[in-house]
Structure 1
Amino acid sequence: MTEATQELMYELMKRIQGDVAGLKEGQRDLLQEMSSLRGQCHLLQGDFNNLRNTVGHIDIRLERIENRLELRELAEAQARFEPHP
């Protein structure tokens, strides 16, 4: 009887060991996927920063253009009041 109990315990332990090995493999896969997702998030953050920088430059250029147009409009308005030879 003792031998049968030991044999059952041995089989149970082998099954548990196999289950634990499967869990470890699944955990390893999840860690790799999380690492990949983390890398993709960092890349997206870099893309957002680049876009923000580009929009900032465009905003500065647009402001310069608007200022030039206002100066031209002021010069044209002033020219109406100046005598022409």
Structure 2
Amino acid sequence: MSEITDIVVPMLRRLEEDLASVKDDMRMIKVRMTGVEENMAGLNRRMDRLDVRVERIERRRDLVEA
């Protein structure tokens, strides 16, 4: 029985370490993805404002029907 224990216990410890590493990596990925999503939201707001500005310029210059 101790031979099996000698083999299995180190494997389980290694698996536990690998799982902890994967958890840390996933946590970092989530943090980075949150940052990307926040930046995309800001970019979308800026693009929406550009659309409004272009429409106003077009109306002022009589480039489009009001």
* TM-score (normalizing by structure 1): 0.69
Shift of 1:7: 2.1
| Partner Cα distance (1:60, 1:11) in 2 | 73
- Structure 1 consecutive aligned stretches of length 4 or more whose deviation exceeds 3 Å: none
Which residue in the other structure is 1:34 paired with?
33
Counterpart position of 1:62: 61
Question: Which residue identity lines up with residue 8 of structure 2 in the other structure?
Answer: M
**How far apart, in 2, do the equivalents of 1:35 and 1:7 lie?**
43
Work out the CA distance in 1 between the residues paired with 2:51 and 2:13: 57
What residue ranges of structure 1 are gaps of 5+ in the alignment? 65-85
- Taking only aligned residues, the RMSD between alpha carbons, in angstroms, comes to 1.4
Number of aligned residue pairs? 63
Unaligned runs of at least 5 residues, structure 2: none
Larger RCO (alpha carbons 8 Å, 6+ apart): 2
The separation in 1 between residues aligned to 2:2 and 2:45, in whole angstroms, is: 64
AA of the residue aligned to 2:33 = M
Residues in 2 aligned to 1:48 and 1:14: alpha-carbon distance in whole angstroms: 51
Aligned to 1:14: 13
1:80 maps to what in 2? none
Q: Distance in 1 between matches of 2:34 and 2:44?
A: 15
Shift of 1:19: 0.2
Matched-pair identity in %: 17
Over alpha carbons, which structure has the higher Rg?
1
